[in-house]
Copies of this chain bind each other. A is one copy, B any other.
Amino acid sequence: MLEKKTTEFLEVLSSKEPVPGGGGASAAVGAFAAALGMMVASLTEGKKTYAAVEEEILCAKDRLKEIRDRLVHLADEDARAFEPLSKAYGLPRTTEEEQKVREEVMEEALKEASLVPLTIMETVLESMAELEVLEEKGSRLAVSDAGVGILFAQAALEGASLNVLINTKMMKDRETAGHYEQRAAELIREGRQRKDRIYERVLKKLQ
């Protein structure tokens, strides 16, 4: 299954091509997390034992599908955002005027390259709320899948944050850079709280 379908993605990820890199891979792992939540929902729906929560489960599944598809799209966005940055590096910088132009173009490109992983982070955090519903109310038989989902979501969140930082680090506009970094730190904190809570409950259910 995996052998046929993701080997090609793994090949380009391994290569010296700068994209896909950590940003796109984080979006992909976030999409895996959402997909695992959907799997828990799929294994719960239609079961008599869970009839009382069926509507909630289906609602979470719909949201996760939408989040998953957005993350797949964001993986591509991340690759696209790298292009202007790569071009900016190549701009001439002999004259003072050229240096000024290059710096401006670079600054704009760095902002964009920071904003995409920040959006990936916001999107992954959304998935965690749905994963919590599924861990709490979904089929007990699939509780480990909900647990894997929440672990992946937090890794995707922290992974994307490194891609925010590598870009903000080089920004001249320190105020904007600071805002982005602060937002990334907040999102990690929120995610970590939810992840710790869910993971602990999953481990208890598996005892």
Which residues of A are at the interface with B, using a C-beta cutoff of 8 A? Answer: 1-3, 5-10, 12-16, 18-22, 24-29, 31-32, 34-36, 38-39, 42-43, 45, 65, 68, 72-73, 75-76, 79, 142-145, 147-149, 151-152, 154-155, 158-159, 162-163, 165-166, 169, 199, 202-203, 206-207
Extra contacts besides A2-B20, A10-B31, A13-B38 (17): CB < 8 Å: A1-B24, A1-B76, A2-B28, A5-B6, A5-B9, A6-B31, A7-B72, A13-B36, A21-B148, A22-B148, A28-B32, A29-B32, A29-B155, A144-B166, A155-B155, A165-B206, A166-B206
Contact B39 A144 (CB under 8 A): no
Copies per complex of this chain: 2
Tell me the bound Cα distance from A45 to B18 in angstroms: 14
Between-chain CB contacts (< 8 Å), 26 pairs: A1-B20, A6-B72, A7-B72, A10-B72, A13-B32, A13-B39, A14-B65, A16-B39, A16-B45, A21-B36, A21-B142, A21-B145, A22-B36, A22-B147, A22-B148, A28-B32, A29-B152, A29-B155, A144-B162, A144-B165, A144-B166, A147-B162, A151-B159, A152-B155, A155-B155, A169-B206
